[in-house]
Structure 1
Amino acid sequence: MRLKRFFFAGLMAAGVALSVQAYNYETVPGDPMQARIYTLPNGLKVYMSVNKEKPRLQTYIAVRTGSRNDPKETTGLAHYLEHLMFKGTKQFGTSNYEKERPLLDSIEARFEKYRYIVNAQERKRWYHQIDSLSQLAAQYNIPNEYDKMMTAIGSEGSNAYTSNDQTCYQEDIPSNEIENWAKIQSDRFQNMVIRGFHTELEAVYEEYNIGLANDGRKEWNALNKILFPTHPYGTQTTIGTQEHLKNPSIANIKNYFHKYYVPNNVAIVLAGDFDPDKTIALIDKYFGSWKKSDNLSYPQYAPVADLKAHKDTTVVGQEAENIIIGWKFDKAASLQNDTLQVIADVLANGKAGLFDVDLTQPMKIMEAGAASDDLRDYSEFYLEGVPRQGQKLEEVRDLLLAEIDKLKKGDFDDNLVSAVVANKRLQFLRGLDKNVNRVEVMKDAFINGKDWRQEVGGLDRMAKMTKAQIVAFANKYIGDNYACVYKRQGNDTTIHKIEKPQITPIPTNNDKHSDFLQAIVNSNPAPIQPRFLDFNKDLTKGKMKDGSTVLYKQNTTDDLFNLSFVYPVGSENDKRTETAADYLNFVGTATRSAADIQKAFYQLACDYNVSVSGDETRINLSGLNQNFPKALALLKDYIYHAKADTASYHKFVGVLEKSRKDAKANQRMNFYALRQYGIYGPYNSMRNAMNNDELAKADPQQLLDMLKGLGSYTLLYYGPSTLKALTTTVSKNNFNGRRLACFDKCQRYTEEATPKTEIYLAPYDAKNIYMIQYHNDHKTWKPEETAVADLFNEYFGGGMNAIVFQELREARGLAYSAGAYYNLPSRKGDYEDFWTYIITQNDKMMDCVNEFNNLLTTIPTRPAGFDLARQSLMKSLATARTTKFSILNAYLRAQKRGIDYDLNSRVYEELPKLTLDDVLRFGKENISGKPYRYLILGNEKDLDMKALEKIGPVKRLTTDEIFGL
């Protein structure tokens, strides 16, 4: 690495120079992110990458510890600590820490005894003591003060996550709030206090419950158990065991925090619009006094032995069958991972990989993929496969392994490796637009102990790889010593119900606030001026010779382009359109096979897709602009000369039918189908598709021909080409044709009114329910009401500081996720609606219903919460920037809504005029005392049906009814 030195100096009014501390940082020549890496004297690492796209920055604080370091007797500890880090410190989250502390200490001591009690009645009695003490402590607790401060500074995406080797805390903040952010985070990481413990524990239980219906989680746990049988990667999970979650240890959590949450085990990672020199001084100011640990260490484990032969295991669950095959490799910092990334794309890149060409495009199996997962101690390389209808998992396994044999023999195109690297470079450069991608790369380097020079040089090393090297590596390392997990459909008898504990809701104490919070709210950083779109200046409008409209924005920064032909017809006009778009991917032309076409696009480092929604169809093309003319000509030839054949169509129909069957086994897909049915009725986008009988009788060539009969379009282009060059190129490959008569008909998906309270219940056997309360009285949208609707959402249901989250999760521990939203239509003629949303344990359903109804009936009056909501929304709008291709889409969205201006500008102007009374009035007029349609997905046998029937009539829907296919 190259070492740089920067000196800060200031001048006094009298002209005397003051020397200020110097900060060393490391850089790597040729780094496209131009990252700086600082190390403060206490060992704290700071990674920085400047991106001036908009006046915000993504911040990560990454701690180099995760479930790998959990004590064996309290697994899930690292993840639970992550939750508790949002509860405050000695300075915030409390109105009087000195009075609160002895009560918290008493709660901690009781939990230490509680975790060893076996007798059920004794546990209930002891838990009642904890609950009672928690009520006493709660009089000093001010829940959500952290979220209130993040709201005050305009942060977005406040969150955190834990995995094997890391715990990462995320905030996306305005560029003028860096000092406030640093002040809050430095206190949080040095002075964390564990409070609100038992209600947050319930939120973790609910997160655990959600995972019970996720068969993928079970598969990965089973795979890692085989590959890492003597290492925590395989012996314990991040979420922890049910037994350990029910028997937590505050003492262990505190010990863990003090051991690993130390500056020489942490990195601050920043990407966005900021001054690195000023920012490192601020970070040093607030984090520099954080005491390093002189005894930092991690549990050490003996090397995990390689498998001597393949080993199989099976997991069962309701979701679709599939298979995973995995191999163990060296740690993430090993250069093995360069080769594994290339091999993964040689096998499966979505276009020209061995799996793509040999398996998924000819539909020998339904889905196939390959990837590597690099961890600090080890990595794993894995294959995934989903069977066709009636296909055995063993056949899928054999087909995947046969492709591995082809890889070992070098039986693939000589130029595939170079094409893989070119496309990986393209994806990386495209990803630099997003700050979150930049921080992820820097954060991973820190967590996995990668030298930054090694990280930056990855693509160049891959570019030097030869086919012979890839083949030799595969033969040496990808052998028969693999783990294989068969995911079969069946009843998982290992899932057990968790009994709902008796929790007394803690007060939210919204009338209180800490001095720390008040100082943040009262701070006055230099404001950022908003920049809204002017559709007369920020894009160019042109015409093609055939009269089609062109929306154009030139890219002056790189050689990448995005292009869309947008046709105002979709599945509302003809439900066959989406089927036609899907079938296109499996056919060729008279002169090229489907595989040849996909390979050609991949070689050009360009990609295409055809997307269909209710009211539009888009033909999209993107990639390297130097190859734009060739890619467009290829796409035109493909769509206009696509050739159907009976064999491919029959296979396609089989794949489509299997995908629908698999969707019916998936909890989230069932809930989506129920939601569509509950909002739109039987005629909705989920049900309005070709059924099996229609698929069998259809003429496949007629389906493909629909894609060249879409009619006139609007052309969207963002790229380096001039407008003249663009129109010339497109004119040579024009996609304008005579619209088919069927597209002139249209039946819109229309939201149903909810004139009475009723329950729609659809079945799914799980330990939790998904529930929405939906209201619609066919109110049409008025642009002038947008500001108050947006502010109501921010105040009532939109985030962690909103009323719904505070009351249902923080105060009562009823759910992991809860929210509410007043929805404004995205096109003229649609209606406004309102819905609540929650995932909760089956026996908590009525608690959630009652609390939601209480909030909807008497919307709480919280002046401080209102002020923070408005402040947050103003800052988000001021720092929002619509750029590049998004400008063109924003113009189309405005047109669909019947306006010709950037709606955000109107909202920003009107927000300062709105009062809490305006928001409360809006809520009372639109959601209070209204009839609701309850949409509940769950197992009726586990629900309190008598209580539901008292609310309103229950309409039982079958799985086939909500899917309609």
Structure 2
Amino acid sequence: MKFKSFLIAAILSLGTAATTSAYEYETVKGDPMQTRIYTLPNGLKVYLSVNKEQPRIQTYVAVRTGSRNDPAETTGLAHYLEHLMFKGTRLFGTTDAAKEQPYLDDIERRYEHYRTVTDPEKRRQLYHEIDSVSQIAAQYFIPNEYDKLMAAIGANGTNAYTSNDVTCYVENIPSNEVDNWARIQADRFQNMVIRGFHTELEAVYEEYNMHLTSDFDKEWAALGRKLFPTHPYGTQTTIGTQEHLKNPSITNIKNYFKHYYVPNNVAICMAGDFDPEAVMATIDKYFGSWKKSEQVKYPHFAPVKDLTAPADTTVIGQEAENVFLGWKMDGSASLQADTLDVIDRMLANGNAGLIDINVNQKMLCQGVQSGKIDMRDYSQFIMIGQPNEGQSLDEVKAIMLGEIEKLKRGEFSDKLLPSVKNNMKLEFLRSLDSNESRATSFVNTFVYGRPWKTQVERFDRIAGITKEQIMDFARRHFTDGYAIVYKRQGEDPTQKKIEKPSITPIPSNRDLQSALVKEIKESKVKPIEPVFLDYTKDFARTTTKKKQPVYYIQNTQNDLFELHFVYDFGSEANKWLPYATDYLDLLGTGTMSAAEVKERFYELGCEYSFTPTWSTMTVSLSGLGENMTEAMKLMEQMLNNAKVDNEAYSKYVDNLLKGRRDAKLNQKENFSALRNYAFYGKYNPTRNVPDSTELVTTRPQDVINMIAALKNYKHDVVYYGPLAMKQLLATVNKNHITAKTLQDAPENKPYKMVETPKNEILLAPYDAKNIYMMQLHNVDQKWTPEDEAKISVFNEYFGGGMNGIVFQELRESRGLAYSAFADYSTTKRKEHQTNYAYTYIISQNDKMMDCIRVFNNILDTMPQSQAAFELAQQAAVKRIASQRITKANIIFSYLGNKRIGINYDLRRDIYAAMPKLTLEDIVKFEHDNMANKPWLYIILGDENNLDMKSLEKIAPVKRVATEEIFTF
């Protein structure tokens, strides 16, 4: 392959950084992202990478601190501070900061006293007093003003995350809003004010409840305790303990903020469409006066001793059994990370790794995964294995360790290491299309203390890694000093119920606005003109020799390609399709084994895949353009001449049936099945599957024939890649195997959404500390394109994000949930196009009726705010204006609209209609479609811990068994 020359050409085509600048910056020779790294005099780092594909910018503001630095007596602090950073400053989030401050100070003093009291009755009284003072402070609090500010500038993806070593704040903004964004962030990071404390604390409790229900989270914590028994990576979790969450310290949070949220401990990471000089001038303008701290110190801990023998522990929970293995490695800044990245992919790359070929392909157990976990002080390499029916966890452990031993002994193909190196480069080239990937690499570099030069030169170092070095590294580092976590099935005796506190809802004050919000909302920026697709010009059309439509866009940026065959039928026409494609993945051809097929695709830097949806089936091939023809020939052999393996089919069925049993133990899987049952009735995606008898008795050849039969049906050909159209046609005509006469697609039998003419309650059992709940309203109202603008603005205003009414009322005002939203949706199918409404929430068991009452209240009497409406409208308009549909997505946009009878870019009409909408339009829309309507209540929970009497007053409760919602 000519992979190296291709990579060099791709890098050189990206040019070099300018050498003149008003601000000094660092660059690294050969950096394909042309990164500029600035350091302001106050120590603030700024990483910038220009990518002009769309007029948006991905921004991350990374603070180099996380739960590793939490005080031992108040764990969970870094994460809770992350939540509080959304509550505002003296400039926003309040109507009068001066009048508000004495009450906030009083609340802080009361919490400091509260956390020292142990008597339950005294604590209840003290909390009541805190709640009372909080009501007075809340008169000045304007919840969600930060989210309103982000809506005003058209931001997407407003969020944040906390882990061991970092707290990072995330926004995706239009490229013309840098000044407003920087002004808001600079104020936020310098002048954060803690308000709305007790209701936000309830939201964190709910997040903690979700962790209690997740066996994976418990396993992860247990693994940390074994690997790092004397370090915060093992002694405390990011979410914190129940005791500490119930005894918070505002004083400690403030001290933590002052210590770590300083410019010389922060990096601004940006990738997208901007002028670096202009961006730096803006950042300097707003962040330049931020005072540097000479006191930034991180807690130091004695080196964690290496394990000299396996250290095991056990976790109990409802979900299926598995086993974790973990090895302690050096911190992510170490050059050891290069070798671990290679080993990671040599063991498992989804195609040709040792685990892929030797374990998962052969189904020696239900499945094994592995991977490197980056952290600053120490990293981890972990393996997770799931047993087959009747297989012990120790047997799975032995299988995983066996693959490590093969690595040590060099028992792998000589082609594997070069293929891994080439595919790592291919991954990187694909990642250049993503601003998120670019900015994330900056965050990791900053947080883990890795010089950017080290990152850029990574592939040069990896190129020199030899097989002998891999073997030697594995022998030295994958020793018997590993940790083991056995996940056993049973009732977890450590879980404790969290009692619902008495909280008086705080006012939403949605009609109020701070001066800053008004200024940002009314600020004048050079508008971004929308770009809509023109389906007559944005791609070329032709046909194959069999008269199949071909949709073509040439890739002029690099040598990567994607080729798709799109069929107009899916699992609704043939419920076996997803299973046939899974089985095909286990097979070879008459001349190549299954392992050899995977190894060859991986060696070519190409991959093929199937995407069976309800109504379509897509066969895709992608990768390095110079190898497309050879990869296509191999794919066609697999599609049409796969060699049946009866033993593989038998193991596949056994694996599948165990996976189905395991799914019944998982809360999210149960709710997914319940939702489908509630939305579509007994004929739904969860139940419309081959049953166990069908799976066992069906001939494997018949299963494979379903894939081979694709050659008989009409389909579309979609291509984005470097070939000229004539070359593409020649390649497809020569290599794509089809019948002489193509048939129309088999007819889909669409899932039809149930109607909800009256209140009904559907309850399925799951024993957990929280419930999953939805409400559905559907009267089969037909969708029309004219609905779209109204629906978009309504969802933005009502339930679509943190600035919506649902989030404000359920979370901000009452602390009822960590996750809550509502949506007015459309099913856009040529067979069935309808509108429907639903709500969604995860909450504590004893908050269920509170959630229902609040939802129904805001549904029946939707709060109205002209200011909030204008922000929702402005956000929706700006997002469309800065949205760009590119590459193969242009063609898929066309095909999607074509299926519902639209031959143009629907966004054009939506954009034109949005500015004409009024609050009255939205109020009438909600009144006509959601207010005072009957609802189907869909609840997954343990009725022994639910207020069933109150629930039965709404409607009779229909109980549905786990076996019925799954039917297997």
Asked whether the 8 Å contact 1:6–1:24 carries over to 2, the reply is: no
Conserved? CA contact 1:712–1:739, under 8 Å: no
1:78 aligns with 2:81: no
Structure 1 residues 739 and 812: alpha-carbon distance in aligned structure 2, compared to 1, 3 A threshold: farther
Q: Which residue of 2 aligns with 1:588?
A: 588
Aligned to 1:18: none
| Alpha-carbon distance in structure 2 between the residues aligned to 1:958 and 1:59 | 46
Aligned to 1:346: 346
Residue of structure 1 in register with 2:763 after alignment: 761
Match of 1:855 in 2: 858
Matches of 1:555 and 1:269 in 2, distance apart? Answer: 28
**Counterparts of 1:687-726 in structure 2 under 5 Å?**
687-710=687-710, 711-726=713-728
- CA contact 2:563–2:720 (8 Å) conserved in 1: yes
The equivalent residue for 1:463 is 463
CA contact (8 A) 1:138 1:196 kept: yes
Specify the alignment match of 2:200 in structure 1: 200
Residue pair 2:610, 2:618 contacting (<8 A) in 1 also: yes
Alignment of 1:336-415 (within 5 A): 336-415=336-415
Cα offset, 1:591, TM superposition: 1.5
More deviation, 510-519/806-815: 510-519
C-alpha contact (below 8 Å) 1:83/1:200 kept by paired residues: yes
Say whether the 8 Å CA contact 2:370–2:383 is kept in structure 1.
yes
Please list the CA deviations of residues 692-749 of structure 1 after superposition, one character each: whole Å capped at 9, or x if unmatched.
0110110111110111212111011110011111111111222433899996343211
Deviation at 1:7, TM superposition (A): 5.6
1:90 aligned counterpart, secondary structure = coil
The reply on whether 1:507 has 2:507 as its aligned counterpart is: yes
Other-structure match for 2:305: 305
Identity of aligned residues (%): 56
**What residue identity is the alignment partner of 1:962?**
I
CA deviation after TM superposition for structure 1 residue 33, in Å: 0.9
Give, in angstroms, the shift of residue 791 of structure 1. 0.9
SS at match of 1:707: helix
Task: Report the Cα distance in structure 2 between the residues aligned to 1:151 and 1:741, rounded to whole angstroms.
Answer: 49
Q: Which runs of 5+ in 1 are unaligned?
A: 9-21
Structure 2 residue 915 is the aligned partner of structure 1 residue 897: no
CA distance in 2, matches of 1:147, 1:49: 26
- Paired position in structure 1 for 2:4: none
Name the structure 1 match of 2:186.
186
Question: Which residue of 2 is the match for residue 534 of structure 1?
Answer: 534
Residues in 1 aligned to 2:744 and 2:323: alpha-carbon distance in whole angstroms = 42
Partner SS for 1:94 = coil
Cα distance, 1:4 vs. partner?
8.2
Q: Secondary structure at the match of 1:572?
A: coil
Cα deviation, 1:324-346, whole Å, max 9, x if unaligned, reads: 11111111110011101111111
Q: Tell me if the contact between 1:5 and 1:23 (Cα under 8 Å) persists in the aligned partners.
A: no
- C-alpha displacement of 1:908: 0.1
Matched residue SS, 2:912: helix
Does the CA-based 8 Å contact 2:714-2:745 persist in structure 1?
Answer: no
**In structure 1, C-alpha distance between the alignment counterparts of 2:688 and 2:430, rounded to whole Å:** 35
388-397 or 826-835: bigger deviation: 826-835
SS at 1:28's partner residue? coil
- Indicate the residue corresponding to 2:752 in structure 1: 750
Question: For residue 754 of structure 1, what is the amino acid of its counterpart?
Answer: T
1:164 counterpart residue number: 164
User: Is the counterpart of residue 873 in structure 1 residue 861 in structure 2?
Assistant: no
TM-score by length of 1: 0.97
1:359-379 Cα deviation digits (max 9, x unpaired) = 110111121122111211111
Q: Give 1:773's aligned residue.
A: 775
The match for 1:597 is 597
SS of aligned partner of 2:752: coil
Q: Deviations over 1:280-324 (max 9, x none)?
A: 010000000000001111110111110111111111111121111
Task: Say what the alpha-carbon RMSD is for the aligned residues.
Answer: 1.4
Q: Is the 8 A contact 2:568 2:745 kept in 1?
A: no
Could you tell me how far 1:541 is from its partner in structure 2? 1.4
> Which AA in structure 1 matches 2:776?
Y
Pairing 1:621-636 to 2, within 5 Å after superposition: 621-636=621-636
Matched, 1:882 2:885: yes
Tell whether the 8 Å contact from 2:546 to 2:740 is kept in structure 1 after alignment: no
Are the equivalent residues in 2 in contact too, given 1:774–1:932 (CA < 8 A)?
yes
The alpha-carbon deviation at position 223 of structure 1 amounts to 0.7
**What is the deviation of 1:3?**
13
Which region of structure 1 is more displaced relative to structure 2, 768-777 or 656-665?
656-665
Q: Is the 8 A contact 1:231 1:304 kept in 2?
A: yes
Q: 1:808 is aligned with what amino acid?
A: L
Distance 1:625 1:830 in 2: 39
Question: Is the Cα contact below 8 Å between 1:751 and 1:830 reproduced in 2?
Answer: no
- Superposed, which structure 2 residues align to 1:305-344 within 5 Å? 305-344=305-344
Deviation string for 1:813-865 (max 9, x for gaps)? 00001111000122232321110011000000000000000011011111001
Report the counterpart of residue 848 of structure 2 in structure 1: 845
| Conserved 8 A contact 1:760-1:936 | yes
Q: Match of 1:822?
A: 824
| Matches of 1:501 and 1:216, distance apart in 2 | 28
Equivalent residue for 1:784? 786
How far apart are the structure 2 equivalents of 1:223 and 1:28?
Answer: 38
CA distance in 1, matches of 2:98, 2:743: 76
Tell me by how many angstroms 1:90 deviates. Answer: 0.9
CA distance in 2, matches of 1:527, 1:742: 47
Q: Which amino acid aligns with 2:817?
A: A
State the distance in 2 between where 1:5 and 1:909 align.
40
Contact 1:408 1:474 (8 Å CA) reproduced: yes
Secondary structure (helix, strand or coil) at the match of 2:780 reads coil
SS of the residue corresponding to residue 834 of structure 2 reads: coil
Matches within 5 A, 1:15-30: 22-30=22-30
State the match for 2:732 in structure 1: 730
Contact 1:66 1:162 in 2 (8 A): yes
* Counterpart AA for 2:736: N
Aligned to 1:210: 210
Residues in 1 aligned to 2:779 and 2:689: alpha-carbon distance in whole angstroms: 28
Are positions 1:683 and 2:669 aligned together? no
* Structure 2 alignment gaps of length 5 or more: 1-14
Native 8 Å contact 1:3 1:26 kept in 2 = no
Equivalent residue, structure 2, for 1:656: 656
Q: 2:838 aligns with which of 832, 835, 845?
A: 835
Deviation, 1:511, is 2.2
CA-CA distance at 1:383 after TM superposition: 1.4
CA distance 1:741–1:37, shift in 2 (3 Å): closer
- Give 1:809's aligned residue: 811
SS in 2 for 1:866: helix
1:641 deviates by: 0.7
Aligned partner of 1:14 in structure 2 is none
Q: Does 1:495 align with 2:468?
A: no
Question: Does structure 2 retain, via aligned residues, the 8 Å contact 1:321–1:487?
Answer: yes
Higher mean C-alpha deviation, range 736-745 or range 686-695 = 736-745
Quote the residue 2:93 is aligned against.
93
**Amino acid corresponding to residue 944 of structure 1 in structure 2:** D
Are 2:553 and 1:553 equivalent residues in the alignment?
A: yes
Q: In the alignment, is residue 261 of structure 1 matched against residue 261 of structure 2?
A: yes
- Partner amino acid, structure 2, of 1:237: T
User: How many residues of Structure 1 are paired with residues of Structure 2 in the alignment?
Assistant: 951
Q: Structure 2 matches for 1:229-240, cutoff 5 A? A: 229-240=229-240
Query: 1:436 and 1:736 mapped to 2: Cα distance?
Result: 40
Does the Cα contact within 8 Å between 2:321 and 2:487 map onto a contact in 1?
yes
* Distance change in 2, residues 1:740/1:526 (3 Å): closer
Secondary structure class of the residue paired with 1:832:
strand
CA–CA distance in structure 2, aligned partners of residues 646 and 470 of structure 1? 36
Q: Secondary structure at the match of 2:817?
A: coil
- Give me the whole-angstrom Cα distance separating, in 1, the residues matched to 2:581 and 2:203: 42
- Structure 1: distance between partners of 2:621 and 2:228: 43
Partners of 1:273 and 1:645 lie apart in 2 by 52
Which deviates the most, 745-754 or 870-879?
745-754
Q: Distance in 2 between matches of 1:837 and 1:65?
A: 33
CA deviation digits over 1:641-691, x for unaligned, max 9?
112122111101001111111211111111111111111111011110101
Contact 2:714 2:742 in 1 (8 A): no
Question: What corresponds to 2:967 in structure 1?
Answer: 964
TM-score under structure 2 length normalisation: 0.97
